[in-house]
Chains A and B, each alone.
Chain A
Amino acid sequence: MKNTRGARFAALAAIGGLALAGCGSDNNTATTTTGTAGSASSSSAAGSSESAPATDCPSGTLNAEGSSAQKNAFEEVVTAYNEKCADLTINYNPTGSGTGIKQFNAGQVDFAGSDSALKTEEKDGVIEVDAAQKRCESPAWNLPMVIGPIAVAYNLDGVDKLVLDAPTLAAIFQGEITTWNDPKIAALNSGVTLPDTAIKPFFRSDESGTTENFTKYLKAAGGDAWAGEPAKSWTGKGEGKEKSSGVADAVKATAGGITYVELSYAKDNALGMAQIDNGSGAVELTSDSIGKFIATAAADGEGNDLRLKLDYATKEAGAYPIGLVTYEIVCSVNKDAAKQNEIKSFLTFFASSEAQSLIEEIGYAPLPAEVQTKVAAAVAALS
């Protein structure tokens, strides 16, 4: 009992330590850039053709929420934007497309990021388009902003070039083809010696837009070969790993492994990437080939609502048909003019060639020129 003073001191020290959560700095401007995809400095040269217009720099805070697929791109663009306009803080919360739209429609965030455009048909008692209209008191626009190519990554010693097509992929991911030297694979890869290694497919165990888009492709291009319905949760066979890093790691560690994963993860882990035969020849995954795929997409919305109808079954020569588009969903007319100005300023930069080539370096693909022009026009029309 006599020593409670000492204990009190200890307690005070503890509480003082907690209270000392005082100062710190958000200013990280002097940092260096490294990484496998090259340095950021090279980007300014690449984006010189059409540099971002010198918009006035608003100050304030923007909150956005939604798709985790565009998280890395978004952060990269925000960082670059803040080098120009330091006074606008932009938070992005990668909680998933559905949550993003829900939060946007509830007025909790300023804009949403989603891997699919606002739905026009009823789902769980809500028509997303109508709810968004109600929230904005004006139509909401879907602006395609980030293209995320999905690589079919594999780990097979001695096989540097592998060609696959939708029916074969469907069979592999449904456990119907179980060894790499299966005649169906061999037929697509004449001249390549395929080992008799067992195929080990890996899928995403968390719900994800990547899974949804990959299965959309299998369903559309594979015909009857894919039995399940496209969904965010996996309906095929294989072994599930959590998140993109999980599947990429697993393939890296497993001889005979194969998975679908965002391009950047395949690159960072130095995994082999299959070429896709879309019916008119094998196509390698490049910004160019994924751009061709996006360019084949039909415009599905009216005016400046730029929703795209991706044609996964495209037979366009040189188009790599597996990828996803992340839309930024915004109010076309916003009651809060200052807020809309902030959104406009940021999205103008996002749609610029400078920002688009920045995200290309980290494994996304830039918008095809035609789409980019439309998006820029739509952003300019926000009021």
Chain B
Amino acid sequence: MTGVSIADKTPGSHGESPLSGDGASTGRLGDRLFGGAAIGAGAVVVGLVTLIGVFLLSQAIPSLMKNEANFLTSTEWSVGGDHPRFGILRLLWVTVLSSLLALTIAVPIGIAVALFITNYAPKWLSKPAASTVDLLAAVPSIIFGLWGLRVFGPRTEGIQNFLREKAGWFPLFKETTVGSFTTIFLAGLVLAIMILPIITALSREVFAQTPTTHKEGALALGATKWEMIRTAVLPFGKPGVISAAMLGLGRALGETVAVMILISSLAQGTDFSFSFFDGGETFASKIALGAGEFDTPQKTGAYIAAGLVLFILTFIVNAIARIVIERRKAFTE
């Protein structure tokens, strides 16, 4: 599960990047063919991403034109009939809230686990520990959903009720129409477990690359292990951790089946609430719930419009990650 590679930010083990190619290119037929194929493959990727955007947009526009509610600020979702009214405000909120909760939980734990594996675990434990956490990534999301609903969810009822009761004055913990444990809160917890292995795996890779000289230098100055980590390992790994977190966030934003199984839907016209203990749908789960009834272009278009927003959202998250990393690079270069 190494989606974003560290390799495009760090040079190879030998410290230099491969030869700048053109000097070695001979202009022979074979070279032109192979080089062309490679460029072609790159172009396919660029083309695919562009096509995704364009196609989704072209399918969404007719439905958006017919939409009688404000697409960005409405909380309604009724896509059939002659007077469709749909908007994404609630979808956006549930998507962002559940993903941020997941991120808030998974990032600190993920970093700690990565540090544990790279710096704390006894030698016999560190490898098995790493593969154990990686195993989590092998569990398909539908299983997380079922487990969350049948096994884990009921056990969170206590803490959810406790928060509702004691912190209910705070908008994020307010009691809502959803009485059971199948709330945004539960989805956030399960999402956290789902993205933990991604964040751990990537952070681990960066931490492991901390130059030994830095670590030994800190220790030689008399630093404790924790101080060595705080001053050598963490600063070194920061960009990697940020990109890991962003990748995890992207995964959480787009997670479909688990969320669909976990969160209760709300009735139309339910008052908007900021609370973790509310129900609702994320972009992805809304699309999946509607998938059985894609029978008219208008309905399909409305769901595709939601998909498009999700696409843009993940696009933005990725772009931010890129910018953070690039800027840091430029800043320190």
Specify which chain B residues have a CB less than 8 angstroms from the CB of A231 in the assembled complex: 80
Assuming A205-B289, A240-B279, is B180 touching A234 (CB within 8 A)?
Answer: no
Is B268's CB within 8 Å of the partner chain A? yes
A95–B265 Cα gap in the complex (Å)?
Answer: 21
Specify which chain A residues have a CB less than 8 angstroms from the CB of B298 in the assembled complex: 124
Specify which chain B residues have a CB less than 8 angstroms from the CB of A98 in the assembled complex: 293, 295-296
Residues facing B in A206-228 (CB within 8 A) are: 206-207
Specify which chain A residues have a CB less than 8 angstroms from the CB of B182 in the assembled complex: 241, 250
A253–B157 Cα gap in the complex (Å)?
Answer: 12
Q: Which of A68, A206, A233, A239 contacts B264 (CB under 8 A)?
A: A239
Specify which chain B residues have a CB less than 8 angstroms from the CB of A99 in the assembled complex: 292-295
Q: How far is the CB of A287 from chain B (nearest CB, A)?
A: 28
Is B323's CB within 8 Å of the partner chain A? no
Is A102's CB within 8 Å of the partner chain B? yes
Is A260's CB within 8 Å of the partner chain B? no
Assess whether A242 is in contact with B293, with CB atoms less than 8 Å apart: no
Question: Per-residue 0/1 for B278-300: is the Cβ within 8 Å of any A Cβ (1 yes, 0 no)?
Answer: 01010000000110111111100
Assuming A231-B80, A254-B180, is B267 touching A124 (CB within 8 A)?
Answer: no
Task: Tell me which of A95, A233, A240 has the highest count of chain B C-beta atoms within 10 A of its own C-beta.
Answer: A240
Q: How far is the CB of B262 from chain A (nearest CB, A)?
A: 10
Assuming A234-B268, A236-B267, is B295 touching A206 (CB within 8 A)?
Answer: no
Is B78's CB within 8 Å of the partner chain A? yes
User: Quick one: closest A residue to B260, CB to CB?
Assistant: A242
Q: How far is the CB of A358 from chain B (nearest CB, A)?
A: 26
Assess whether A96 is in contact with B293, with CB atoms less than 8 Å apart: yes
Give the total of A residues in contact with B, Cβ under 8 Å. 29
Assess whether A239 is in contact with B268, with CB atoms less than 8 Å apart: no
Is B266's CB within 8 Å of the partner chain A? yes
A330–B41 Cα gap in the complex (Å)?
Answer: 48
Specify which chain B residues have a CB less than 8 angstroms from the CB of A254 in the assembled complex: 179-180
Specify which chain A residues have a CB less than 8 angstroms from the CB of B56 in the assembled complex: none
Assess whether B265 is in contact with A239, with CB atoms less than 8 Å apart: yes
A235–B77 Cα gap in the complex (Å)?
Answer: 10
User: Quick one: closest A residue to B81, CB to CB?
Assistant: A231
Question: Per-residue 0/1 for B144-173: is the Cβ within 8 Å of any A Cβ (1 yes, 0 no)?
Answer: 000000000010000000000000000000
Assuming A98-B295, A254-B179, is B267 touching A203 (CB within 8 A)?
Answer: yes
Q: How far is the CB of A315 from chain B (nearest CB, A)?
A: 30
Assuming A200-B179, A206-B289, A253-B180, is B296 touching A240 (CB within 8 A)?
Answer: no
Assess whether A239 is in contact with B293, with CB atoms less than 8 Å apart: no
Is B129's CB within 8 Å of the partner chain A? no
Assess whether B179 is in contact with A239, with CB atoms less than 8 Å apart: yes
* 3 cross-chain pairs, A with B, having the tightest CB-CB distances, nearest first: A240-B265, A205-B265, A98-B295
In the complex, 26 of the A-B residue pairs with CB atoms within 8 angstroms, ordered by the A residue number, are: A68-B292, A95-B292, A96-B292, A98-B296, A99-B294, A124-B296, A203-B267, A205-B264, A205-B281, A205-B289, A206-B289, A207-B289, A234-B267, A234-B268, A237-B177, A237-B267, A237-B270, A238-B267, A239-B177, A239-B178, A239-B180, A241-B264, A242-B261, A242-B289, A253-B154, A253-B180
